[in-house]
A and B are shown apart, each in its own frame.
Chain A
Amino acid sequence: MLKADNLSKVFNIHLIGDKVIKGCNGVSFIVDRGEFLGISGPSGAGKSTILKCIYRTYLPTGGDIRYDSVLYGQVNLATIADHMVISIRHKEIGYISQFLKVIPRVSAVDIVAEPLLLKNGVSPEEAKTKAGELLERLNIPRKLFDAYPATFSGGEQQRVNIARAIIWKPRLLLLDEPTASLDRDSTAIVVELLKELRNEGTSMVGIFHDNELMKSITDRAYRMNPETEYAE
């Protein structure tokens, strides 16, 4: 379903004398349908860079990212048009960042319901109900549902973030340390939710700070080789 082929990313920082920073280099892997691939490697190896290239938050410098899209068929995520990436983000590929990017003055329940509305024609009421149920499973107190997450604790924000990313059951989910700011109980709930999602057919690529955790939920790991990818 997803195939990274010799993917590389360098950042050219023009402001500081055209400094070149290496993001990742020569990354190749395959994710089969329904599979959960972990990405491991030392800090700074470029793990997040890979996910951001797949999601196109970063523009890849070289290589291909072949993706088998429902909307468009075989595409190269590294090069397809921006508006196609937007459609794919709405209908197929989700992304959980390490922190919630709060949307000002939008309540927790609406933040979670939004992607469901974008994906398919569920009614706003139905989307809200589903969002509430998911927040409840993630132990977010009911009284916070209609509050703005800007004032939530880090762990609460992150659970809102996770709910927003999984509620619409994307075909492919990219996870960047989703549980880094969560306590043990919340982490256990998230793991359970991710396993359910996988059983329903979502393919995943994820980075986890905790190796044990990664082993327990992924099928396989792609190890970033410090020799090739980390070298200057």
Chain B
Amino acid sequence: MAMVPILDVKGLTKIFGDGCHLCSQSTGPEYETNVCRHCGSIVACSDVSFKLYPGEILGIVGESGSGKSTVVKLLHFDWDATSGEVFIQSTSMDKSININGKNLFARSPYQKRQIRNLFMGIVYQNPHLGLRMDVSSGGNIAERLITANWRSIAMMRGRASELLEKTEIPVERMDEPPANFSGGMQQRVQIAKALSNNPLILFLDEVTTGLDVSVQARVLDLIRNLQSELNLSMIIVSHDLGVIRLLTKRTIVMKYGRIVEAGLTDQILEDPQHPYTQLLVSSQL
């Protein structure tokens, strides 16, 4: 029983700046910087490789600036990678678009948008990035549905109210803009929007950071329930090991743009190998 990864990421690299041939060799944990001392470019992530398996939640932890959000934004095609490849493999995928076994970074911008609109969902740490604050919550979801080729207004309204109910937003508030909502509610509208196209892969970037503990708990419970109900594959970025412990079975640890350790989440927490992971774990427990 060989399990095929739904997402296979190989050598993902993003350099901000002109870059030079020494960028990768002069940055990383052993140099304690992600800034190339030769050309001044920022190596946001370098040679990041991992697999995401169907139905699993994979955690990415690491300190601020370690490149976690960069990885997610590259995989969501928000930014172009400097180098690297990504493959999606799924049998349950919409037949209208054949992307199995092809490097998605090499697709046309149009195809990338299509892949994103049909198969991916994302929740940004900053709700302003993921939502239009002055458009109704239902409208935010409808905009997303339109990109996934929905057309009937009635069906879109129906879908929006179903999703808002799932994410515990009172349906009667569907016509209010997210600007009227609390931080926790905005995150839940973002989650509803991200789920609207029935994605195969969901990216969650620091979804609970900055929320009150009790609100955090509701968002985390929501994610946990969605995972068991919909069997979604997710990548969850967090610097909070509590979130990682609660939601994930496997975790990647990043520092200065590199993966320093990857393993089972309980192994990372109980038997961390890399000095940085040991520091991270000991300072959070």
- Could you tell me which A residues sit within 8 Å of B by CB distance? 11-15, 52, 56-59, 71-72, 82-87, 103-105, 117
The B interface is mostly helix, strand or loop, or mixed, namely mixed
A11 cross-chain contacts in B, Cβ below 8 A: 271
B217 cross-chain contacts in A, Cβ below 8 A: 104-105
Bound-complex Cα distance A15 to B262 (A)? 19
Supposing A13-B278, A15-B279, A57-B266 touch, asked if A82 and B271 sit within 8 A by C-beta, the answer is no
A105 cross-chain contacts in B, Cβ below 8 A: 217, 221
Structural contact, B249 and A57, CB atoms closer than 8 A: no
Structural contact, B3 and A104, CB atoms closer than 8 A: no
| Residue in A closest to B220 when the chains form the complex, CB atoms | A104
Bound-complex Cα distance A59 to B273 (A)? 9
B83 cross-chain contacts in A, Cβ below 8 A: none
B250 close to A (CB within 8 Å): yes
Measured CB to CB, the closest approach of chain A to B90, in angstroms, equals: 16
Bound-complex Cα distance A58 to B271 (A)? 6
Task: Fill in one digit per residue for B242-285: 1 if any A CB lies within 8 Å of its CB, else 0.
Answer: 00001001100000000000111011001101110011001000
Supposing A72-B1, A105-B221 touch, asked if A83 and B53 sit within 8 A by C-beta, the answer is yes
State the total of A-B contacts with C-beta under 8 angstroms: 51
| Residue in B closest to A87 when the chains form the complex, CB atoms | B3
Structural contact, A103 and B271, CB atoms closer than 8 A: no
Structural contact, A52 and B270, CB atoms closer than 8 A: yes
- Could you tell me which B residues sit within 8 Å of A by CB distance? 1, 3, 51, 53, 56, 217, 221, 228, 246, 249-250, 262-264, 266-267, 270-271, 273-275, 278-279, 282
| Residue in B closest to A117 when the chains form the complex, CB atoms | B228
The 5 A-B residue pairs with the shortest CB-CB distance, nearest first, are A14-B275, A58-B271, A57-B266, A83-B53, A82-B264
Most chain B beta-carbon neighbours within 10 Å: one of A12, A71, A72, A105: A105
Bound-complex Cα distance A57 to B245 (A)? 13
Supposing A87-B3, A105-B221 touch, asked if A59 and B278 sit within 8 A by C-beta, the answer is no
A58 cross-chain contacts in B, Cβ below 8 A: 267, 270-271
A86 cross-chain contacts in B, Cβ below 8 A: 56, 249-250, 264
Question: B264: which of A13, A14, A57 is its contact (CB, 8 Å)?
Answer: A57
Supposing A56-B267, A71-B1, A82-B262 touch, asked if A104 and B282 sit within 8 A by C-beta, the answer is no
Structural contact, B3 and A82, CB atoms closer than 8 A: no
Bound-complex Cα distance A82 to B250 (A)? 7
Bound-complex Cα distance A71 to B3 (A)? 11
Measured CB to CB, the closest approach of chain B to A145, in angstroms, equals: 19
Measured CB to CB, the closest approach of chain A to B259, in angstroms, equals: 13
B264 cross-chain contacts in A, Cβ below 8 A: 56-57, 82, 85-86
| Residue in A closest to B218 when the chains form the complex, CB atoms | A105
Bound-complex Cα distance A136 to B269 (A)? 33
| Residue in A closest to B249 when the chains form the complex, CB atoms | A86
Structural contact, A59 and B271, CB atoms closer than 8 A: yes
Question: A15: which of B56, B221, B250, B275 is its contact (CB, 8 Å)?
Answer: B275
